[in-house]
Structure 1
Amino acid sequence: MTTTASTTAEHNKLPYVAVTMGDGAGVGPEVVVAAVLDPQSNAECRPVVIGDALRLRQAADVLGIEADIQSIENVEDAVFTPGRVNVIDLALLPEDLPWGQLSSVAGHGAYEYIRVAGELAMAGKVQAICTAPLNKEALHSAGHIYPGHTELLAHLTGTEEVSMMLSTPKIRVIHVTTHIGLVDAVRKINPDLVERTIRRGHEALVRAGIPNPKIGVCAINPHAGENGLFGQGEEGEKIEPGVKAAQAAGINAVGPLPADTLFFLAGRGDYDLVVAMYHDQGHGPVKVLGIEAGVNITVGLPVIRTSVDHGTAFDIAGKAIADPRSMVEALHQAAEMATRPAPVG
């Protein structure tokens, strides 16, 4: 009896994580059900799904698993027992919503799940948000014009600047720029932005339990410009001063370094974090090295947010073949970061 009471008391100390269902026509409902029922997830956090209970039941049927999917009104109403999925049911999707087809109704639902999760986090009802994938075209067709989750959450929380971090078992990457063209990215990069990105990455890793992370900073040009041979001196003008400013603040940052070499070194464990200058510079190596268990972390928000590092996968939605490992890992990292206080200063 004492053991049970003690176990319950310990479980009640775990962080609440709002798990958004993503686009209901994609693989989100399937990976959410699988991840929320995973024993590791329930040992590390108290997941509460924001979505549609009906769609989650359909996903459980697709997967052929027994799931006690229960609608609740408030986070504090959640009851955590084996096989149970607690869901704040927004009931936005029709019963006959097709799997794997673009839908503005599903796009609007994905927006609403994020909106509610953001409100819960800002109110302190949950300690982190973990998001299943949405479809940008569906989101836009519903009238919500955002490039993706990162920008949407920044808007909903009133945050001016955030960074995207990708984390896999082999490598972590944070981006100075993301969803803009390459020419625009080079134009946007400047020493202050580089420094702020390094700082955000450093703080996130300290929060995750790495006290003095070693950070490698990518160059823009091949061979880091090779003393002016390649490019227009972008490394010395745009990157190096930002790295030096971070070093002056006590951050263990090195660079700018040739990106190809840096990713090789980081992949074998020499660096805890790589700072990529633009979207594909960081995303390409990450997807080669471990997209199956990859996690997308939005750094700089007033709340913790993690996500799978894959899309809605319409081609396999509703077929019980979506891999839930990335969602399980996203929940793991949300719990890990939510249980640590933010660094001071």
Structure 2
Amino acid sequence: MIAPLAVSLGDPAGIGPEIIAEGWARRREAGLTPFFVSGGVDVIARAAHSRGLDIPVERIADLSDACAMFETALPVLGAEEHGATFGAPDDHGAALALHSLAEATRHALLGSAAAVVTAPIAKARLARVGFEHPGQTEFLADVCGLEREDAVMMLAGPSLRAVPLTVHCALADVPTRLSQDLIERRARIVARALARDFGIAAPRLAVCGLNPHAGEGGRFGDEEARIIEPAIETLRGEGLSITGPHPADALFTPRARRTYDAALAMYHDQALVPLKALDFDEGVNVTLGLPIVRTSPDHGTAFDIAGKAVADPGAMIAALKMAGEMAKRRAEHG
């Protein structure tokens, strides 16, 4: 049996706490691996109540109690309390979210947790309390001692896996951030992770072009010929099954999706728009290349609906399920 999953609270004023509680309530039907929440026992209890969930939420002082308790109560590790108001984020809540993230990650790095599942944060609010990272992916890369280029965001749902090769930057900066080395490094990480964590023995990758019509022979830009095509040729020479560059407007059709296991997109929205259009309520943000397993629901804090019992828990449940499956594969195969 693997260790429990560590779940970070997210911003306590957002929907994270309530969809975590809903995930526990549906643990049996979803077949979830046991998990505990890092901090915020009062926040979780109030969030559960706001959804009409009559579930026991129990504070634990030792992780050895998490798995034993999981079938009868939602275990929460730590004594942190915070009187959060749904939909009204504040600095105290941001500090709790940051502490929860740091502690959940620490347990995963120590091996006392099999994975970390992160609930949504408000990046601007976290910056006010000392968070110096563009997002949780970059935070995890830094604490794991990796270069940020080697922590790769993949969005995964039932219909699509998509990887944005550049992430949190202005669209105008994308062409200058793209390089042959970046594409090659991240493609290798994606291929290894698909084999190791998803059980795909011979992963197939498809690469988007940057420009409309993948540049159309240089008429709409030269990045395809100058950067993307040489990277693909190098990777093919290493034995990877990789195609492209493809026009992005054709790569996400049902017929095209059957030809690859993951699509590599050139920028954030090129990957996230199709994923959210296809799998919004089941989309998972998974970080590839880390020494630990990390997943997250692929949506934000949704302050406007927090506490109103309307937030769909599907993406959180999918993130919990995927984290458990990935952790079990790593435990079985090393």
- TM-score, normalization by structure 1: 0.91
CA 191–344 in structure 1, closer or farther in 2 if over 3 Å, else same: farther
Shift of 1:179: 0.2
Runs (4 or more) in structure 1 with deviation over 6 Å come to 342-345
5+ residue gaps, structure 1: 1-12
Q: Does 1:247 align with 2:236?
A: yes
CA 71–152 in structure 1, closer or farther in 2 if over 3 Å, else same: same
Q: Secondary structure at the match of 1:58?
A: helix
CA 89–343 in structure 1, closer or farther in 2 if over 3 Å, else same: closer
Distance in 2 (CA, whole Å) between partners of 1:181 and 1:293 is 27
Partner of 1:224: 214
**Identity over the aligned pairs, expressed in percent?**
39
Shift of 1:337: 1.0
Partner of 2:139: 152
Deviations 1:124-181 (A, max 9, x none): 1112111110111211122223221111212222221211100111111011100011
Distance in 2 (CA, whole Å) between partners of 1:252 and 1:59 is 46
Deviations 1:241-281 (A, max 9, x none): 22122222222111111111112257642221100011111
- TM-score, normalization by structure 2: 0.93
2:125 aligned residue (138, 153, 156): 138
Shift of 1:90: 4.2
Distance in 1 (CA, whole Å) between partners of 2:103 and 2:27 is 26
Q: Does 1:211 align with 2:198?
A: no
Distance in 1 (CA, whole Å) between partners of 2:265 and 2:55 is 41
Distance in 1 (CA, whole Å) between partners of 2:7 and 2:207 is 32
Distance in 2 (CA, whole Å) between partners of 1:90 and 1:239 is 50
Q: Does 1:320 align with 2:309?
A: yes
CA 262–148 in structure 1, closer or farther in 2 if over 3 Å, else same: same
Shift of 1:286: 1.1
Q: Does 1:65 align with 2:53?
A: yes
Distance in 1 (CA, whole Å) between partners of 2:210 and 2:79 is 45
Residues 251 and 257 in structure 2, CA contact (< 8 A), matched pair in contact too: no
Q: How many residues align?
A: 330
1:30 aligned residue (6, 18, 24): 18
The amino acid of 1:212's aligned partner reads A
1:339 aligned residue (314, 328, 333): 328
Q: Secondary structure at the match of 2:304?
A: coil
Partner of 2:34: 46
Distance in 1 (CA, whole Å) between partners of 2:184 and 2:332 is 17
Residues 208 and 244 in structure 2, CA contact (< 8 A), matched pair in contact too: yes
Deviations 1:194-247 (A, max 9, x none): 01111121122212111112111011111111111111x211211112212222
Residues 294 and 326 in structure 1, CA contact (< 8 A), matched pair in contact too: yes
Residues 42 and 81 in structure 2, CA contact (< 8 A), matched pair in contact too: no
Q: Secondary structure at the match of 2:88?
A: coil
The amino acid of 1:220's aligned partner reads L
The amino acid of 1:53's aligned partner reads V
Distance in 1 (CA, whole Å) between partners of 2:239 and 2:333 is 14
Distance in 2 (CA, whole Å) between partners of 1:265 and 1:241 is 28
Q: Secondary structure at the match of 1:339?
A: helix
Shift of 1:338: 1.1
The amino acid of 1:332's aligned partner reads K
5+ residue gaps, structure 2: none
Shift of 1:40: 4.5
Partner of 2:251: 262
Partner of 2:44: 56
Q: Does 1:310 align with 2:299?
A: yes
User: What is the CA RMSD across the aligned residues, in angstroms?
Assistant: 2.0
1:117 aligned residue (104, 128, 132): 104
Distance in 2 (CA, whole Å) between partners of 1:342 and 1:228 is 47
